[in-house]
Amino acid sequence: MTATEPREGRVRDPIDLDAAEEARLRTAAGMIPAPIASPGGEYFGFDTVSIPDRPPQTERERELYTLGEGEMLVNMGPQHPSTHGVMRLVLKVRSEVVTDLDVVLGYLHRGIEKLSENATYTTVLTYVDPMDYMSAMHNEHAPALAFEKLYGIEAPPRAQYIRALVVELNRVFSHGLMMGFLALDIGALTPILYGFINRDEVVEMLAAISGQRMLFNFFRVGGVNWDVNDEFLSRLGAWHAKELRNVKDNEALLTGNEIFRARTRKMGVISRQQAINLGVTGPNLRASGVPFDVRSAHPYPPYHELEFTPIVQEHGDVYDRYLQRIAEIKQSMHLIEQIMDKMPHGPVQAQVPGIIRPKPGRAYAAIESPRGLYSVYAISDGGPTPYRFRMRDPSFVSLQVMPVLMPGHLIADTMAIMASLDPIMGGVDK
């Protein structure tokens, strides 16, 4: 059987058809009759399929998908090992240099905002867990703060300290994994294994306090679900005694490594002004030299009682973003020690009814997640469900720098630059 014959028992593929038949099929399907011809010549038959299969909707899209001399489109994803979830990048390349890039999202869109409008305030906290699955504790933190503000209560001091403790633990393993993924995308396998050993130790610890390994469902409106217990404390002590051995092993493997430095330094530089303009937040913003951290800029309890100064880097390249993560892991360890020292006694849950009906009003609460400013805007109409529940995910906004950064870099560097931004698609697509 030759390649042009339709396969047995299958619907015929448009690629197999002759031009007239293809035009008819495409017209029947509401597409433009012929694919956009590539002036750049034949690329192994790829110019018979155009991306996207429809007329461009905006000027920017027309510009993106119009090929110049010697240019071609390379599709990366949605199921690509380096895209950190399910996302698609359409790269416009000339030989091996990227000239333009389109970020295509929505493969993981679950409509969490819409679902939350039909869920009670307590159940919303379970919906947001799988959003940014690397930092589920942070995902629950901002809605809990927003709903408490709506309802006019505050969590007891001990609950606030336990919250800070678990989110800092979460930040440590999230940043540790980012180091591993960055190395993996560049081509080094070992760091991700150390990253996962560290993550497993922390996750087992969090499972001891919350009951679940990944999607913790630990926060409640007005407090947290459980007080700290013996297993959690003994695991925390054992883990703390190792003094971040796995992270330090990674650091020893990567920071001075000549290949790693060659692949990351002066790569994907985000200037201070660009970062502000594009809405980049979190470690990526601080790596560009802007000392903005919600924990210090607009502190939420108990961070106003902790000693804390944001760390910044100078250059804003991939290497600086990596260094920033290491510095923040150590900073988080410092915060964890302070929290354990200062943790007060008392209840961990305020008195709230089973179904909460806040007075009509609106509340905005923002926290610092491992990926940046994560905020929730909630509106109540007096009913048992939020009238509007809006989440601002930091990696969603940070992805906008990709089309700005990529032109001029090689295809292989897409991975490094993307991994340095540390986007999590569960959060991007909501």
* Phi/psi-derived region of residue 61, left when phi > 0, alpha when psi is between -120 and 50, beta in every other case: alpha
Among 266, 304, 342, 388, which residue sits at the site for other proteins (rule: CB under 8 A)? 388
CA distances from 161 to 45, 164, 201 (A): 61, 5, 21
**Applying CB under 8 A, does 11 fall inside the site for other proteins?**
yes
Residue 138's SS3 state is helix
DSSP 68: -
**Applying CB under 8 A, does 425 fall inside the site for other proteins?**
no
Number of separate helices (H) and strands (E) present in the chain: 18, 8
Q: Which of 324, 313, 364, 302 is nearest to 168 (CA)?
A: 302
**Applying CB under 8 A, does 106 fall inside the site for other proteins?**
yes
Residue range at the interface with other proteins (CB under 8 A); choices 38-46, 120-128, 197-205, 369-377? 369-377
Q: What residues numbered 129-188 form the site for other proteins, per CB under 8 A? A: 149
Residue range at the interface with other proteins (CB under 8 A); choices 9-17, 33-41, 73-81, 193-201? 9-17
Report CA torsion sign: 404, 408, 409, 411: positive
Residue range at the interface with other proteins (CB under 8 A); choices 35-43, 57-65, 66-74, 168-176? 57-65
Q: Which residue reads 């190395």 in tokens?
A: 183
Quick one: 11 or 189, whose CB is closer to other proteins?
11
**Applying CB under 8 A, does 75 fall inside the site for other proteins?**
no
* Residue-wise DSSP of 246-282: HHHHHHHHHTT-HHHHHHHTTSSPPPHHHHHHTT--T
User: What is the residue type of 204?
Assistant: E
Among 99, 113, 253, 409, which residue sits at the site for other proteins (rule: CB under 8 A)? 113
DSSP 6: P
Quick one: 18 or 59, whose CB is closer to other proteins?
59
Among 240, 261, 330, 390, which residue sits at the site for other proteins (rule: CB under 8 A)? 390
Residue range at the interface with other proteins (CB under 8 A); choices 85-93, 204-212, 384-392, 419-427? 384-392
Nearest approach, Cβ of residue 212 and other proteins (Å): 26
Beta bridge partners of 374: 367
Contact (Cβ atoms closer than 8 angstroms) between residue 275 and residue 284: yes
Q: Which of 418, 354, 385, 427 is nearest to 117 (CA)?
A: 385
Among 37, 96, 277, 382, which residue sits at the site for other proteins (rule: CB under 8 A)? 277
Among 39, 68, 70, 111, which residue sits at the site for other proteins (rule: CB under 8 A)? 111
**Applying CB under 8 A, does 1 fall inside the site for other proteins?**
no
Size of the site for other proteins (CB under 8 A): 57
- The token pair at 310 is 């944001």
Q: Which of 316, 332, 307 is nearest to 420 (CA)?
A: 316
Q: Kindly report whether the peptide bond that precedes residue 143 is cis, defined as omega within 30 degrees of 0.
A: no
Site string for other proteins, 329-368 (x = CB under 8 A): --------------------------------xxxx-x--
Nearest approach, Cβ of residue 375 and other proteins (Å): 5
Residue range at the interface with other proteins (CB under 8 A); choices 17-25, 35-43, 216-224, 313-321? 17-25
For residues 77 and 232, what is the distance between their CA atoms, to the nearest angstrom? 39
Q: Which of 311, 183, 168, 321 is nearest to 249 (CA)?
A: 183
**Applying CB under 8 A, does 12 fall inside the site for other proteins?**
yes
Quick one: 355 or 404, whose CB is closer to other proteins?
404
Among 19, 32, 70, 109, which residue sits at the site for other proteins (rule: CB under 8 A)? 109
* Phi/psi-derived region of residue 155, left when phi > 0, alpha when psi is between -120 and 50, beta in every other case: beta
Contact (Cβ atoms closer than 8 angstroms) between residue 76 and residue 101: no
Beta carbons within 10 angstroms of residue 345's beta carbon: 7
**Applying CB under 8 A, does 84 fall inside the site for other proteins?**
no
Residues near other proteins (CB under 8 A) are 7, 10-14, 21, 24-26, 28-31, 52, 54, 57-61, 105-106, 109, 111, 113-115, 118, 149, 276-280, 292, 297-298, 361-364, 366, 373, 375, 377, 379, 388, 390, 392, 396-397, 399-400, 404, 429-430
